Amino acid sequence: MKTLRVYLFLLILVLFDTIPAARAVSWTPGWSLQTTPTLANNSTTPAEARRLGDAIDSAESAHTAIAAWEAITAAQPDNVDAWTELACLRLLEGAAYRQSAKARLACYITALQDCERAMATNPEFLRRVKAGQTVAQASTALGPREMGAMHFWATGIFYIFRDCLGFFGRVFNASQMDSAKAILMRMDAVDPTWEESTSTFSWGIYYLAMPASRGGDKAKARECFDRAVKLGVNRTIPRWGRGKYFYVAIGETAASQADLAAVAVRDIDDLGGSRPWNRYLKAEAARLLAK
């Protein structure tokens, strides 16, 4: 019997090693990657890239806009805003236009690397990570100009946790969520009101996603989601996220439907934040209501 248990244990280890969702997720740090020189002479302007980004409504249009921002970051590797916009669109591509966990993971990891390259335009952050500090440890060097990069880095971790990992994968990658928590703490230390208090919504996601043994707390999650909706009146994601995730998790179906309906009817021209994200969230809310 003991021998059988040993064999079963070894078999489980082998199976885990062959299933990406059950392994620790890792990636090459963004600051160590090289810009593709063939793109450096591209004449795409930030205004044109932003126009392409605002028009995203499919996988193909997302790819076109992403390629435009890739050209700009290749030509302007110290452009923190360009790297941040690129990360934003890669997250959108993964969440909205990729179906498999593997395809989404590729988008999310590349978005994390873009965020890290944005952070690395800060000389002190770059010095610290090259000296061996983690992103979370070095984030104390980051400030207002890197808020977008911090936000999308934490968001990328949350999306990997939600879309790409099974139960054991989440166990193996719990430390990544701890890193995301550290980034949210840094964001709040710099400016808790940034982008209509966006970090408040991220805290709601964190408390909802984590098990109670690791800091999860549905009461705190409710408080954060409710506050994010109140503060983010010109945003779609607080109410969409509360409707899709929180109310579903606690079984409040009517409240979930009400939130999704409120998002679906919003006029995109009256909303703040990312236009392609708003378009996707409105469409996704309508899709969920029709189920």
pLDDT digits (tens, 9 = 90+) for 242-291: 999 999 999 999 999 999 999 999 999 999 999 999 999 999 999 999 98
Sequence letter at residue 25? V
Give how far Cα 213 sits from Cα of 167, 178, 229, 250, Å. 15, 13, 27, 18
Residue 22 confidence (pLDDT) above 60: no
Task: Give, for 79, the enclosing helix (H) or strand (E).
Answer: none
Region 24-48: what's the mean pLDDT?
76
Residue 9 confidence (pLDDT) above 70: no
pLDDT tens sequence across 115-141? 999 999 999 999 999 999 999 999 999
pLDDT at position 35 is 67
Higher pLDDT, 20 or 252: 252
Neighbouring C-beta atoms of residue 95, cutoff 10 Å: 19
- Rg of the chain on CA atoms, in Å: 20
Q: How far apart are CA 198 and CA 62, in angstroms?
A: 23
pLDDT at position 6 is 41
pLDDT range class, residue 18, cuts 50, 70, 90:
very low
pLDDT range class, residue 19, cuts 50, 70, 90:
very low
Token digits for 175? 């430390």
End-to-end CA distance of the chain: 49
Neighbouring C-beta atoms of residue 102, cutoff 10 Å: 11
Residue 96 confidence (pLDDT) above 50: yes
pLDDT at position 173 is 72
Fold observed for domain 43-191: 1.25.40
Residue 38 confidence (pLDDT) above 60: no
Sequence letter at residue 113? Q
pLDDT at position 153 is 98
pLDDT at position 129 is 98
pLDDT at position 36 is 58
**What percentage of the chain reaches a pLDDT higher than 70?**
89
Q: How far apart are CA 5 and CA 75, in angstroms?
A: 57
pLDDT tens sequence across 154-208? 999 999 988 888 777 777 777 889 999 999 999 999 999 999 999 999 999 999 9
Token digits for 260? 């999704």
pLDDT range class, residue 11, cuts 50, 70, 90:
very low
pLDDT at position 291 is 86
Region 225-252: what's the mean pLDDT?
97
**What percentage of the chain reaches a pLDDT higher than 90?**
79
* Mean predicted lDDT score pLDDT of the chain: 90
